[in-house]
């Protein structure tokens, strides 16, 4: 008989074990190995069956075992010591407090639609959520005062299973928040704090606020499944990325607008500082800027004045290199929701203008969340160097007339949280031989770590993966075939001594899950090579609505189930954090073969590299910037192929060639002790050179230094003197925008260079510029110069500003000097752009005039 309702009853711990409650409810345990080992000691079997969830473990432990532990003085002392260590960690000054000035921001709002922190809190679908979780963890370790904001999805993303015919099937198990490391934000009288959003027709959407402690970081998750809502509104936070357009819009309204209101409640009810700046992690959270504008309008600012304040204190990160990854809504739907009391003082026309695709190539009557994010954020970035370039091209139409290099989108390459993703055996090796548990700072070139030591640890990681994969396949078989024993081949599936390639990620078509199947017989020969066999472990989820992605999974599963290859190739269902923490370390080679340049970053390969795995990848995402010919292999991109089929064939053939002729021979080339010396050299090099660069600590420090601190300074400057600078900037922008159609370069003169120019000559440039209605201080007149290539395009251009020289009339003469510093072709032009001390980029207004 099935229960009609289920809930979790929390364990009442003996007083002497009170430390366990604190340790279980702060998610630092998810990356703090000594705390995890403490919980594992309670019951190794239940620790595994609970999937490493301390609260679930404590809920299942027998009272007799708790009593035994309560009387174990050594265990109690160990638990108390770890609790005291947590207290120190939460209160002590860390990198941010020690390295940043005293006026650094006291709080930073970080909004994301998903957070992947631990398998015990399944509120993530893939890379975006895992990245957000790693961002919070490293922010905690570094002492960066972030407040995270997201939604609490009652069914998370989805649980994946594979049918006997290889088709992905989805299940949505309902999560019980009482069984999760959550607490409700409450008023002093004990009632739950709530946010409310006005809806069309006079109704309202209510949400309570769950709090999660992620080390030092408070994470707020908004939940609509409460009695104050009707059934339709209770389901707003039912699933991550579930439902259609209006359902998604409601989620994003709640995340952005409701999230800012939740932070304000947190500040009122606790001693938490109000954020000085806000980081929008992808466009889903973009409405947060509109709530802030509404608050500023309430303080007496106009919309345009408030917009300047919000822009100054907003950082926007785009994660997608493909337009299909951006949320876009019909403008009529946006108008319906904002023609209400949702945002007091904000006119719906101003809202629509922020998300309008009113540029070349845009779609009329469409509201684009990424476009709104860029218009609301004065600082924006992609998530790898290549992705920054792609983003500047993708969104360049917002800044017409500017070269891609001038589009104001920079890049901060993603990183991954090393304590979460580094296998404990590698940490133990670093502690034993190198005297540190921080594998990103360890000296992996030291002779204190021998080749045999590294190879022993890598072999252990691979064996661990093989054991886990067999367990998962047997478990999936048992679900599909209840009462039938495991087939004999499962016990021999995979081999802990065989070269192991891993591939795991979401399964949209551009990531090309099945490129490895392009020539099935050649793949078969690679897998079954009698002297140098290869095995491949694969995982990944396709979006429930993506039948094409599901067909790719089906095709791969069908091949992997063929009797002759099923011991060498396996698809593991329900890819999640728990699986990933064994999969990344257990692979010798991490494979990634997307269509270049459609991989924004690809952090799975980073996690593998932190464990000494070598990468085999298309030069896309992070790999395009870090591949150095010693840390893995690059699959050549067939960009000039005639069509997609030819491209796939060429790149698949290159993949096969690399495995057959370079990777497998190097892996199986052993010395007398059985160590592949050349392979271990690459492992050592990978750990030494990539571990610091791929760390989320590096990423978060970069965000702080390059984006957060400048944004906070800009926000303070523009808000000074009761927002006087914001009012002045709004007025100035209006003036410049109105005058710009009359701005022109009427004449350019040059001289000072002989008939045969030589390196060292000085080119004197004078430009006569019509600036009717503006002053010379309102514009920057610049010589843009560089090598002139095909079509007279300037390559890697540089700029020299010209200075107004004489006259107050119109046109105004500007002059300056360019030193010819290198030989070869040379070209130049003159451009005029707006100039103001509160602009973060000359391209900010999208206004430019170029000499013809």
Report the 3 state secondary structure along 248-285. Answer: HHHHHHHHHHHHHHHHHHHHHHCCCCCCCEEEEECHHH
pLDDT at position 593, please? 96
For 519, what's the count of Cα atoms within 13 Å in the CB-facing half-sphere?
A: 17
710-749 per-position pLDDT tens digit: 999 999 999 999 999 999 999 999 999 999 999 999 999 9
Q: Is residue 809 very low, low, confident or very high in pLDDT (cuts 50, 70, 90)? A: confident
Sign of the alpha-carbon torsion through 838, 844, 846, 852: positive
SS3 543: coil
Average of pLDDT values for 478-500?
88
Average of pLDDT values for 525-541?
98
pLDDT at residue 772 greater than cutoff 90: no
Torsion on CA atoms 326, 332, 338, 341, rounded to nearest 10: -150
Q: Is residue 470 very low, low, confident or very high in pLDDT (cuts 50, 70, 90)? A: very high
Percent of the chain with pLDDT over 90: 90
SS3 797: strand
pLDDT at position 6, please? 62
Q: Is residue 793 very low, low, confident or very high in pLDDT (cuts 50, 70, 90)? A: confident
β-sheet bridge partners, residue 136? none
Tell me which of 8-17, 155-164, 409-418 is least confident. 8-17
**Which contiguous run of DSSP H or E holds residue 89?**
helix 73-91
Q: Encoding tokens for residue 603? A: 């952090």
pLDDT at position 304, please? 98
How far apart are alpha carbons 749 and 416 in whole angstroms?
53
How far apart are alpha carbons 501 and 532 in whole angstroms?
13
492 touches 656 (CB < 8 A): no
Average of pLDDT values for 478-488?
81
pLDDT at residue 72 greater than cutoff 80: yes
How far apart are alpha carbons 270 and 620 in whole angstroms?
45
Q: Encoding tokens for residue 751? A: 């001289």
pLDDT at position 481, please? 81
pLDDT at residue 204 greater than cutoff 80: yes
206-257 per-position pLDDT tens digit: 999 999 999 999 999 999 999 999 999 999 999 999 888 999 999 999 999 9
SS3 96: helix
How far apart are alpha carbons 415 and 132 in whole angstroms?
10
Sign of the alpha-carbon torsion through 483, 484, 490, 491: positive
511 touches 546 (CB < 8 A): no
pLDDT at residue 485 greater than cutoff 80: no
Percentages (nearest 5) of helix, strand, coil residues in the chain: 45, 20, 35
pLDDT at residue 8 greater than cutoff 70: no
692-711 per-position pLDDT tens digit: 999 999 999 999 999 999 99
Return the number of other C-beta atoms located less than 10 Å from residue 753's C-beta: 15
Exposure pattern of 320-344 as b/e (b: 16+ CB <10 Å)? bbeeebbbbbebeebbbbbebebbe
Average pLDDT score, the chain: 95
How far apart are alpha carbons 814 and 743 in whole angstroms?
14
pLDDT at position 2, please? 64
Nearest C-alpha neighbor of 490 from the set 465, 503, 472, 464: 472
Sign of the alpha-carbon torsion through 39, 42, 44, 46: negative
Nearest C-alpha neighbor of 826 from the set 814, 818, 834, 837: 818
How far apart are alpha carbons 388 and 408 in whole angstroms?
10
SS3 506: coil
828 touches 800 (CB < 8 A): no
Average of pLDDT values for 828-852?
96
355 touches 218 (CB < 8 A): no
Q: Is residue 118 very low, low, confident or very high in pLDDT (cuts 50, 70, 90)? A: very high
Torsion on CA atoms 758, 762, 768, 773, rounded to nearest 10: 130
Nearest C-alpha neighbor of 303 from the set 250, 207, 410, 375: 375
pLDDT at position 598, please? 92
Helices of type H across 514-619: 520-527, 547-560, 577-586, 603-609
SS3 313: coil
Please compute Rg for the chain using Cα positions. 29
Q: Is residue 807 very low, low, confident or very high in pLDDT (cuts 50, 70, 90)? A: low
Exposure pattern of 276-287 as b/e (b: 16+ CB <10 Å)? bbbbbbbbbbbb
> Greater confidence, 5 or 657?
657
pLDDT at residue 193 greater than cutoff 80: yes
* pTM across the whole model: 0.96
**Which contiguous run of DSSP H or E holds residue 576?**
none
């Amino acid at each position: 008989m099935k229960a009609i309702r289920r809930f979790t009853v929390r364990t009442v711990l003996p007083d002497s074990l009170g430390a366990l409650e604190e340790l279980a409810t702060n998610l630092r345990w998810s990356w703090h190995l000594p705390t995890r080992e403490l919980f594992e000691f309670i019951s190794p079997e239940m620790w595994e069956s609970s999937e490493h969830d301390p609260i679930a473990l404590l809920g299942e432990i027998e009272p007799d075992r708790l009593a035994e532990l309560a009387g174990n003085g050594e265990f109690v002392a160990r638990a108390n010591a770890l609790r005291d260590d947590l207290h120190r960690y939460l209160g002590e000054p860390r990198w941010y407090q020690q390295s940043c000035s005293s006026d650094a921001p006291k709080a930073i709002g970080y909004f994301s639609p998903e957070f992947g922190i631990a398998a015990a809190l399944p509120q993530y679908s893939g890379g975006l959520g895992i990245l957000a979780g790693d961002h919070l963890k490293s922010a905690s370790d570094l002492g960066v005062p972030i407040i995270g904001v997201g939604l609490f999805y009652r069914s998370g993303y989805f649980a994946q299973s594979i049918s006997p015919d290889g088709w992905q099937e989805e299940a949505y198990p309902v999560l019980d928040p009482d069984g999760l490391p959550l607490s409700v934000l409450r008023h002093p009288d004990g009632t739950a704090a709530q946010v409310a959003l006005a809806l069309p027709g006079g109704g309202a959407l209510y949400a309570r606020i769950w709090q999660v402690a992620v080390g030092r970081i408070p994470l707020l998750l908004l939940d609509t499944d409460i009695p104050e809502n009707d059934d339709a509104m209770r389901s707003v936070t039912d699933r991550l990325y579930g439902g259609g357009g209006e359902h998604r819009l409601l989620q994003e309204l709640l995340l952005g607008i409701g999230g800012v209101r939740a932070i304000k409640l947190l500040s009122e009810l606790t001693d938490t500082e109000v954020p000085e700046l806000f980081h929008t992690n992808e466009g889903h959270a973009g409405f947060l800027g509109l709530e802030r504008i509404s608050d500023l309008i309430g303080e007496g600012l106009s919309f345009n004045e408030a917009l300047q304040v919000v822009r100054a204190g907003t950082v926007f990160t785009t994660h997608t290199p493909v337009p299909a990854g951006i949320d876009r809504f019909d403008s009529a739907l946006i108008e319906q929701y904002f023609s209400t009391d949702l945002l007091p003082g904000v006119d719906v026309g101003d809202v629509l203008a922020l998300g309008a695709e009113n540029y070349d190539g845009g779609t009329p009557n469409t509201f684009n969340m990424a476009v709104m994010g860029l218009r609301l954020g004065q600082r924006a970035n992609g998530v790898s160097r290549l992705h920054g370039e792609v983003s500047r091209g993708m969104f360049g139409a917002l800044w017409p007339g500017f070269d891609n290099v001038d589009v104001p989108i920079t890049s901060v390459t993603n990183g991954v949280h090393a304590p979460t993703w580094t296998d404990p055996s590698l940490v133990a090796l670093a502690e034993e031989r190198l005297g540190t548990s921080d594998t990103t700072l360890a000296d992996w070139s030291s002779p204190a770590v021998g080749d045999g030591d590294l190879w022993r640890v890598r072999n252990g990681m691979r064996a661990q993966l093989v054991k886990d994969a067999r367990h998962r396949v047997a478990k999936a078989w048992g679900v599909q075939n209840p009462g039938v024993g495991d087939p004999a081949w499962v016990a021999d599936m995979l081999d802990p001594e065989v070269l192991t390639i891993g591939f795991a990620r979401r399964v949209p078509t551009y990531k090309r899950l099945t490129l490895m199947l392009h020539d099935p017989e050649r793949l078969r020969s690679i897998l079954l090579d009698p002297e140098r066999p290869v095995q491949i472990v694969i995982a990944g989820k396709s979006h429930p609505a993506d039948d094409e992605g599901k067909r790719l999974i089906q095709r791969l599963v069908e091949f992997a189930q063929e009797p002759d290859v099923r011991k060498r190739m396996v698809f593991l269902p329900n890819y999640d954090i728990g699986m990933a923490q064994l999969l990344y370390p257990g692979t010798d080679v991490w494979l990634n073969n997307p269509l270049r340049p459609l991989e924004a970053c690809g952090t799975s390969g980073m996690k593998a590299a932190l464990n000494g795995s070598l990468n085999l990848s298309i030069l896309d995402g992070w790999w395009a910037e870090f591949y150095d010919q010693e840390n893995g292999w690059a699959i050549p991109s067939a960009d000039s192929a005639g069509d997609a089929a030819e491209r796939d064939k060429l790149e698949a053939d290159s993949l096969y060639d690399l495995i057959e002729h370079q990777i497998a021979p190097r892996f199986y080339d052993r010395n007398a002790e059985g160590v592949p010396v050349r392979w271990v050299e690459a492992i050592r090099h990978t750990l030494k050179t990539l571990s610091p660069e791929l760390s989320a600590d590096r990423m978060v420090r970069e965000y702080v230094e390059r984006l957060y601190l400048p944004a906070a300074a800009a926000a303070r400057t523009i808000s000074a003197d009761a927002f006087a600078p914001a009012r002045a900037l709004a007025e100035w922008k209006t003036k410049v925008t109105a005058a710009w159609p009359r701005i022109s370069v009427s004449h350019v003169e040059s001289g000072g260079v002989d008939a045969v120019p030589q390196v060292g000559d000085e080119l004197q440039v004078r430009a006569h510029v019509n600036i009717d209605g503006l002053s010379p201080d309102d514009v920057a007149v610049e010589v843009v110069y560089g090598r002139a290539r095909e079509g007279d395009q300037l390559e890697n251009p540089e700029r020299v500003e010209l200075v107004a020289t004489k006259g107050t009339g119109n046109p105004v003469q500007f002059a300056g000097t360019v030193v010819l510093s290198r030989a070869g072709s040379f070209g130049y032009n003159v451009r005029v752009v707006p100039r103001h001390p509160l602009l973060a980029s000359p391209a900010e207004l999208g206004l430019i005039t170029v000499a013809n």
